Structure formats: structure tokens, C-alpha cells
Amino acid sequence: MSTPLKFYQVGSFAVGNRLLAEGQLSEQSHPDRTNSLTSGHRACQGCGEALGARYALDAAMAATDGKIVAVNATGCLEVFSTPYPETSWRLPWLHSLFGNAAAVATGVAAALRAQGKSDIRVIAQGGDGGTVDIGFGPLSGMFERNDDVLYICYDNEAYMNTGVQRSGATPPAARTNTTHAVGTNPGASFTQGKNLPVIAMAHGIPYVATATVADLHDLEAKVKKAMTYRGARYLHILVPCPLGWGSRSEETIQLARMATECGLFPVFEAEYGEVITTKKIRRQVPVEKYLKPQKRFAHLFGTNGHPELLQAIQAIADKNITKYQLLEADAQEQDTSKESSRG
Amino acid sequence: MDKPFAITLNIGSSLANHTGSWRNERPVYVNRLPPCNDACPAGEDVQGWLYEGEAGNYEQAWRNLVRDNPLPAIMGRICYHPCQTACNRAELDEAVGINSVERFLGDEAIKQNWQFNVTAAPTGKRILIIGSGPSGLSAAYHLALKGHSVTIRESAAAPGGMMRYGIPAYRLPREILDAEISRIVNMGVVIECNTKVENAEATFGEGFDAVFLAIGAHLGKRAFIPAGDTARILDAVSVLHMTADGQPPMLGRRVVVYGGGNTALDAARTARRLGAYEAIVVYRRTQEKMPAHEVELKEALDEGIVMRWLSTVSRVDEGSVTIEKMALDEKGFPQPTGEFENLDADSVILALGQEVDLSVINGMTEVNVDDGVVEVDGFLMTGRRGLFAGGDAVPGERTATNAIGHGKHAARAINSWLQDQSFVHADRPDLASFDRLNTWYYSDAPKTVRPKLDAARRASNFSEVVQGLDAETAVFEARRCLSCGNCFGCDNCFGVCPDNAVIKIESGKYEINLDYCKGCGICANECPCGAIDMELERS
Ligand SMILES: Cc1cc2nc3c(=O)[nH]c(=O)nc-3n(C[C@H](O)[C@H](O)[C@H](O)COP(=O)(O)OP(=O)(O)OC[C@H]3O[C@@H](n4cnc5c(N)ncnc54)[C@H](O)[C@@H]3O)c2cc1C
Ligand SMILES: Cc1ncc(C[n+]2csc(CCOP(=O)(O)OP(=O)(O)O)c2C)c(N)n1
Ligand code: SF4
Ligand code: SF4
Ligand SMILES: [Mg+2]
């Protein structure tokens, strides 16, 4: 999905490049981008959710000539952006409840349709808790009715706003405040969890995609593509959370990158229930490289660590790699292993 | 105060909330010294001129390059490119082909007839340069740029020093050499050929304000080798000089060259081109110890030059030489074994190194000579005030690039000295090391390989061995540069800040909005080239 420019220093991966033509630049590289979520918000240092929301909504605004209404579930994104009477949003924005963003968005879409304003598009957004747990019923209904809404889930893998509790999207072995790192199976249990992109696909809706804050070009392209469909669409974005993950604030993007490069977070898109593209792994890394910088997985490492759990997590990654065909011999570049520590 | 039910405050923007107060560290844009620049003996701003080359601004790239080195077309052919050895990209895939881009720019400049513009007003100062090799030419160029009037005196019939009379034409075509020298002459530099300076001290009496000694090292070192009366023994410097003059010596069909430096290889390769069907290089140590550069050895081997490692020449007779096999002792030094062998040879060329002809400073007691070379201080001044020296005549690596660097430094030192200023060395920024790069952002690309002339064809004439890049590949090659330690306008910092605290003024020009920067460090971490530092806030 990224620009097929080779031989450039950074042609395909950086935000912009002084040598790229206008059409090849990302929305984020424009000095006059919307900044849908503007400065002064109270997100933590290095918040992946704040970044993901601006990436996604700016792309949606660009795709619709600025005609977007956003409905926001309760969660960090809502709390840090709108302490009364301030707002960081630079687009029409409604706060729903924790569990009903999809239902409210359905209502907004219906109202616009009734007024004949088909050019104004609706986005619903929420965290993983608001999406895969409490908001799941309204969301499934929205899919089932094929309402003209793009639902975006910013997945930071726990209920962060209330102090890091486990959600249906929390990965196995992760320590949260409700899954302590104690006992023989420390951290969250090895359950199936709720894989919402796959559940969304099962509804047969026009468009489902996953993305991360580490691949801006891919994320923007998917948002823009989503805006070309009518009906229910679902975008699931991985947004690392320094507070909940126990990671360094500067590593937010790097961790998202490693999540996809190890295979734990497959990046793909699907149309009407069928996967149509997958993002290939470019420099494969073992899951350790992704897990180790995160304190929520600290109990897996060291003398009292749990190599068997690491193995089980690697097995999940390997399964994803096979299922989504994340490795492609010719598309994959050599992992030079000499790659700098910051790679 | 007409508000809806339960609303008491006006809507406000979060811009009122200056989150910058949360910050412990702040991002700061820096310029670090790229390893290529650090390694270039001529002090070129490699990364800086590649940056222009990447955009296809060839003239600007060339102009940036010649700020430091006035001989890019020559350098692009004969420099041993330590820049590439240091290049960070080598750790990722392969070093950037800096030298081939340099050559491309140099050739383009000749094709387009780009000239040097002297904008400085004439200073009225007169400087004499003794010798027109790379160090003399470089000094002349830098001094002329400053508005000084420069005269070069050269004992040979044509200027260029070892670039003309040592380095063979198949590596450095003479029209390239002539073109780059005439560009310096066009600045008003006077080169008086066939004019040997006999006494450097006397030239001060002619009204020169400063003198730069750039006499090189031209005397072939001799070794005592027992030889029959009719044995034909020549020295490499003379063979190459005569060949350059168009009067090559008779060498016969089988030639033995004695020595292990680049000069030995050039002599052997020249012998092949002059008709010898066999050219054997005899060297007393091993390949690892050989001072010649790897590329040159490879090219020589490709041309059918035969190497005899661990061997010394012990006797020369008409038609044959006797060599003795050597063996390395525990310390790694070659020791004679008493085992001898005869090789057929019509002539033997000695390439055992060169010495400086110091007669020009005879009687100048303030000028110290140590180990056959002229002693200079950190500013290249000799013990005689006003007399500077550089290149092969002073201690240091004997390469054309190093000589060019000396010429530049001597010119700066002379310029300060003439203005009665104290000498100062410019500060060197910290190195842009590989571990500061975020290599994820660079696409992987193989180096554009220079097509080489077929080895057999190459050996039979003096046409150039290594072919240049065309414009398209030059741009690709330049774009492989990682821009180590210096912003190249990728917009990453502007894009990745969760707080929109980076302001983009234009591509390549950004500012941090400290009102909102929380100091998370993502911008610094995601900067591909390591051009952002996080600095602690003072409390
Ligand atoms: C065969 C050979 C191959 C080489 N290949 C390479 C290479 O590929 N790459 C590389 O970087 N380096 C190479 N070198 C080394 C390089 O040529 C020298 O290091 C460089 O030329 C030194 O420059 P210079 O200005 O100090 O002296 P020179 O180039 O030697 O120039 C000195 C000049 O001073 C003149 N001169 C001397 N005394 C007087 C006097 N009293 N009055 C007037 N004029 C005088 C001489 O005639 C000469 O022209 C090679 C050297 C040789 C011999
Ligand atoms: C019905 C209801 N239950 C509980 C809450 C408290 N609450 C607010 S945000 C939140 C968790 C949000 O988690 P998630 O949706 O993952 O968003 P995040 O904060 O992680 O971005 C909870 C439990 C609420 N607001 N409403
Ligand atoms: S990548 Fe560019 S700046 Fe870095 S060392 Fe190589 S040529 Fe120099
Ligand atoms: S990414 Fe933004 S908030 Fe973080 S250090 Fe850089 S400018 Fe500051
Ligand atoms: Mg969450």
C-alpha cells in the first residue's frame, strides 16, 4: 500500500520526503493538515491513541473534503481530549456512553440520511474495551444492519482510562491490574480473546482492515479506501500505550512496528468477509524483541522467567504468519541483524 | 450569557492548555559529522553534496563539493575513497558509491564548463607554490579564492605532479587532468613549467609573502642488489614518467617488478600495456601485508599480473633474476629461507618507495627534516616562518587526496598568517554513528556497480578502466545516502508527534513548539538519520 518507490532513502516508509511529488506525500506531511485532534490534549507522553486518532481522522477529513461527524465512546481518547469546557477536536464530535458509540453513530447516520445529507459521513470510535466488550452488542447490530458508519477501534489492549484492567483484547500473559503476574500462569490467561477484525469479517460487511501507528502510509490508505464504500466498515488500529504497557514513551511507534514484524499483530484488509491484502513482514523479529521492552511482560524474562509462555506466544505469532501468509520470500528483505538498536 | 440549560462556561480549545510544562526533556535539532565527511582526507562535506545530488541539482552539488576539493573528476577516478570505508550504509547493505557520484559530478562539470568564481577582492599578497601536484594545485585554488595572487613553479614540462607522471593514463585520462588544472589556471593562478626552484629561501627575496613547499617525493628508492653488467634494472617512477612523456622505455617481453605498493602494480600493469606478455610482481611479505589497495590488486590480477608473495630479488642478470623465498617468523617478519629460484626476466623494475628531493631547502637550518621528510607544525608551517609544506614531502599518508587536504589546510593557515591572525582549528561536531540511525525507514537497495571494461581489452591499451555512472544511476546512488546526522526533510518528526508540537516551516525546516511538546522523545526515536537529540530541561 505504500508508494512503490525504491532506491529513495526513505521513499516508502517515512512520513514524507522533500523529493517526493505532491501526490506521493502522506496527509500527515502537509503543513496544513486538519489536525483533527489538536495540541493541548491531556494524553500521556508518547500516547499511541492520540497519534492514531489524528492519523485516521485527518485522512478521513482529507477523503471527504472535511465532511465528517465523529461519535466517541468513553475512554482515554474522550477523556483526554474534552475536559469541560475545552476540546481538542476540530471536527463535529459527540460523546456517547462507554458502550453505545456504534448505536449513536447509527442514529447520526440515519438523521443525516433523513435530511438528505449523504455527503456527510459518520465515524464512530472507541477503545478496545468500548469496542470488543461493552460496546460489542451495538457494534454487531450496526454491522448486521450495514449502517453507513466507519467504526474505528483504537486498540491499546486494556481499559487504560480506568487504570489498566484486562479487556477481551488483552494479550495472553500480559500483566494488568486485574491479571496480576502471579502463580504458574502469570498475567492474562491464554484464551482465544475477542479477535474483533475476524468477528467483523464474519458479518460480511463491505470493508474490514487492521493497521498500526507504525505504518502511516498503510493506515491512511485504508482510511481513504474505507471512505469509498457505503455501509458498515471496521478499522482496528494497534496503538501502544506507554502507561499500560510499561514502555518508554519514545518507543510507541517502534513497539507497534515490532508487533507486526514478529507476527503477533497481522496487518491486512478484507472485503465482504474475504482477506484481500496482507502486509508482509519486512524484517522478521522473534516475539521476545517485541515483548521485552514492555514491563507488562517483565515476568516472562529473567531468572524467574517463563520461557514456556514465551514459546506459547511465539506459537501464536507463527500461527498468524501461516494463516495470513505474512512471509513472502521475494517481498521480504534480509534481516541484517546488524540493524541498529533503534531499528 | 445566553447559554443552554446547565451550561455555564464558553466552549474553549485545548490550545489553552500548555502541556509543554510536563516536559523533562526537549528535542533539539542537531547536525552531526557524518562518517564519510569525517574520513575524507580532503575534508569534503560528502553528505552535503550528496544531498544536492539526490535532488538532481548537479551544479549545486558540484559547487558544494569544490568548496573543499577542486579536483572532483580526478578524485572520482583515483581516490582510494576512505569515505566509503567509513560509510554507515555498509552496515545496512553496501556503502554508498560516493566516489562514482563524485566522478559523475566532476565529469558533468567538465561537460558543462562550470568554472570557479572568485568573488574576493584582490589582497595584493603574493604567494609562491613550489610544485604543481595535487597539494600545490589545491593550495593555489584555495588561496586564489581568497583573492591572493598565486604563482606555481614546476620543474616538469607540464603540471600535475604524480597525477601526470606517476598515475598511468588508463586510470586517469590526461584530458580530465588538463581540464581540472585549466579551471584553476582560469582563476588567475600562474603556473610556470620547466622552472625548477633551486633554493626556497631565495624566493622570499623575490617579494613573495609566503611560500608553500609541495614538491612531492620523486626519487625512487634504491636497494643494493648484486647484478651482472648487462642486467637491465629501472626504477618504477622513471618508467612511469617516461611512459607519461610518450617515450616509454624498452622493457622486453618478461618483466619483474620488485615491491608491493600501488606503484609496483601500476608499473606492472603499464609493462603489460607496453607489450610485456608476462609481468611478475615480487614482494617480500604476504598479501595481507601488502600496502597496495585491494581494488588495485584485484584489477591487476584480472589483467593477468602474477604475484610472487614472500620473495625477495637477490640477484639480477641478463635475462633472468634470482629470487629467494621468505618465511614469516613468530613476529610475522619475513626471514630468508635459503631457497632460491630463477625467473626469466628481460628487465627488473624497482618499486621500493619514493624519497623527497630535499635539495631545495639545502642550507635552511630552521627547517627540520626527520626521516627524509620535512617537519611541520599543526598548521603545516615549517621552522622557517612563512614557509609552509604539505603533501608527500611531509609526514602522513601519501595519497593525492591527503595532498589535497594539505593544500586546503595550508591555504587557510597561510591566509590567517598573512592577516596576522592566530591560527584556529574549526570545531568538529560529534560523529553521526550508526547506532543513532533508525534504519527501518531506509529502503534497501543494491549499490550500482560500475561496469568494468573487459579485463583483456583493458590490458591492451591505455583507455580508462573504470566506467562512470550515467545521470540516472548517479541520482539513485546519491539517494542511497542515509544523510547521517543531518536532516534531509523526511517529515517524520512532523508526522509522528502525538501532540502536534512540531511545526513544519518547509520540507527540511522544522521547529519544536515548546508550548505543547511533552518531551516524549518519539520524534527523536523515529528520526531516521539521528538529527534530533533529547536534552534534559534545566529545572
Ligand atoms: C605510481 C603512483 C600511483 C599513485 N596512485 C595513487 C592513487 O591512485 N590515488 C592516490 O590518492 N594517490 C596515488 N599516488 C600518490 C599520489 O600521487 C601522491 O601522494 C600525490 O601526488 C602527492 O602530491 P604532492 O602534491 O605532494 O606531490 P606530487 O604530486 O609529487 O607533485 C610534486 C610536484 O613538485 C614538482 N617539484 C619537485 N621539486 C621541485 C622544485 N624544486 N621546483 C619545482 N618543482 C618541483 C614535481 O615535479 C611535481 O610536479 C600514486 C603515486 C604513484 C607514484
Ligand atoms: C457503563 C460504564 N462502565 C464503566 C465506565 C468506566 N470506564 C470509563 S473508560 C473505561 C475503560 C476504557 O477502556 P477502553 O475502551 O479500552 O479505552 P482506553 O481508555 O483504553 O482507550 C471504563 C471502564 C463507564 N464510563 N461506563
Ligand atoms: S550514508 Fe551518506 S552520510 Fe552516511 S556515511 Fe554514507 S555517504 Fe555519508
Ligand atoms: S514527539 Fe512531540 S511531544 Fe514528543 S518530544 Fe517530539 S515534539 Fe515533543
Ligand atoms: Mg483500551
**Within 6 Å (CB) of ligand 3, which residues are found?**
B 34-36, 46-47, 50, 87-89, 96, 98, 481-484
Domain ranges of chain B: 5-31+487-536, 36-114+439-478, 126-218+356-418, 221-351
C-alpha cell read off for A22: 505532491
Kindly report the CATH number that applies to the domain delimited by B221-351. 3.50.50.60
The torsion region of residue B19 among left (phi > 0), alpha (psi -120 to 50) and beta comes to alpha
| Binding-face residues of A in 213-232 toward B, CB within 8 A | 216
Question: Is there a contact between B219 and B357 (Cβ–Cβ < 8 Å)?
Answer: yes
For residues A48-69, average pLDDT: 98
Question: Is there a contact between B278 and B268 (Cβ–Cβ < 8 Å)?
Answer: no
> Which residue owns the Cα nearest ligand 4 atom 2?
B497
Q: What is the pTM of this model?
A: 0.91
Question: Is there a contact between B164 and B242 (Cβ–Cβ < 8 Å)?
Answer: no
Tens-digit pLDDT profile for residues B236-289:
999 999 999 999 999 999 999 999 999 999 999 999 999 999 999 999 999 999
A69 pLDDT above the threshold of 70: yes
Please tell me the distance from the alpha carbon of residue A206 to that of residue A201, in angstroms, as a whole number: 9
pLDDT at B230: 84
A337 pLDDT above the threshold of 50: no
For residues A39-61, average pLDDT: 98
Q: Which fold has domain B5-31+487-536?
A: Alpha-Beta Plaits (3.30.70)
Q: What is the ipTM of this complex?
A: 0.94
Q: Could you tell me what percent of chain A has a pLDDT over 90?
A: 87
For residues A189-216, average pLDDT: 96
Distance between A13 CA and the closest CA of chain B, angstroms: 5
Which range marks the domain in which residue A112 is found? 33-342
The answer to whether position A305 is within a domain reads yes
The answer to whether position A14 is within a domain reads no
CA distances from B288 to B260, B293, B297, B328 (A): 11, 10, 11, 12
| Binding-face residues of B in 340-379 toward A, CB within 8 A | none
Tens-digit pLDDT profile for residues A286-302:
999 999 999 999 999 99
Question: Is there a contact between A287 and A240 (Cβ–Cβ < 8 Å)?
Answer: no
C-alpha cell read off for B292: 597496495
Higher pLDDT, B462 or B251: B251
The answer to whether position A245 is within a domain reads yes
> Which of the four pLDDT bands, split at 50, 70 and 90, describes residue B470?
confident
pLDDT at B477: 83
Ligand 2 contact, A265 CB (< 6 A): no
Question: Is there a contact between B44 and B86 (Cβ–Cβ < 8 Å)?
Answer: no
User: Which backbone phi and psi does A55 adopt, to 5 degrees?
Assistant: -55, -50
Bond into A85 cis (ω within 30): yes
Please tell me the distance from the alpha carbon of residue A199 to that of residue A209, in angstroms, as a whole number: 12
Distance between A77 CA and the closest CA of chain B, angstroms: 12
For residues B456-473, average pLDDT: 64
Question: Is there a contact between A250 and B525 (Cβ–Cβ < 8 Å)?
Answer: yes
Residue B443 has its nearest CB partner, among A6, A216, A254, at A6
Ligand 1 contact, B132 CB (< 6 A): yes
Tens-digit pLDDT profile for residues A227-281:
999 999 999 999 999 999 999 999 999 999 999 999 999 999 999 999 999 999 9
For residues B409-438, average pLDDT: 91
Question: Could you tell me which CATH class the domain B126-218+356-418 is placed in?
Answer: alpha beta
Question: Could you tell me which CATH class the domain B36-114+439-478 is placed in?
Answer: mainly alpha
**CATH number, domain with residue A96:** 3.40.50.970
The answer to whether position A214 is within a domain reads yes
Judging by beta carbons within 10 Å of its beta carbon (0-12, 13-18, 19+), is residue A32 exposed, middle or buried? Answer: exposed
C-alpha cell read off for A34: 486538519
Q: How many CA atoms lie within 13 A of B330 on its CB side?
A: 0
The answer to whether position A133 is within a domain reads yes
Cβ-based neighbour number of residue B36 at 10 Å: 28
pLDDT at A9: 56
Does A337 touch chain B if contact means CB atoms closer than 8 Å?
Answer: no
For residues A322-329, average pLDDT: 88
Residue B442 has its nearest CB partner, among A10, A35, A50, at A10
pLDDT at B478: 87
pLDDT at A12: 67
Does A303 touch chain B if contact means CB atoms closer than 8 Å?
Answer: no
Does A48 touch chain B if contact means CB atoms closer than 8 Å?
Answer: yes
Q: Ligand 1 center to residue B217 CA distance, Å?
A: 6
For residues A196-204, average pLDDT: 98
Ligand 1 contact, B162 CB (< 6 A): yes
Mean pLDDT of chain A: 92
Mean pLDDT of chain B: 92
A87 pLDDT above the threshold of 80: yes
End-to-end CA distance of chain B: 42
Number of domains chain A is built from: 1
Ligand 2 pocket: which of A96, A155, A162 to mutate (most atoms <8 Å of CB)?
Answer: A162
Cross-chain residue pair B437–A340, CB shorter than 8 Å: yes
| Binding-face residues of B in 11-50 toward A, CB within 8 A | 11-19, 22
The answer to whether position A16 is within a domain reads no
A3 pLDDT above the threshold of 60: no
B360 contact partners, CB below 8 Å, separation of at least 6: B130, B197, B198, B199, B200, B213, B215
pLDDT at B290: 92
pLDDT at B222: 86
Ligand 2 contact, A210 CB (< 6 A): no
> Which residue owns the Cα nearest ligand 3 atom 2?
B481
C-alpha cell read off for A120: 456527510
For residues B85-102, average pLDDT: 90
Please tell me the distance from the alpha carbon of residue B36 to that of residue B486, in angstroms, as a whole number: 12
pLDDT at B168: 95
**Do the domains at B5-31+487-536 and B36-114+439-478 have one common CATH topology?**
no
B462 pLDDT above the threshold of 70: no
Cross-chain residue pair A86–B12, CB shorter than 8 Å: yes
> Which of the four pLDDT bands, split at 50, 70 and 90, describes residue B92?
confident
Q: Ligand 5 center to residue A132 CA distance, Å?
A: 10
C-alpha cell read off for A319: 500461527
Tens-digit pLDDT profile for residues B505-520:
988 899 999 999 999 9
pLDDT at B534: 98
Residue B146's closest CA among B210, B50, B207, B60?
B210
Contact list in A for residue B12 (CB cut-off 8 A) is 85-87
> Which residue owns the Cα nearest ligand 4 atom 1?
B497
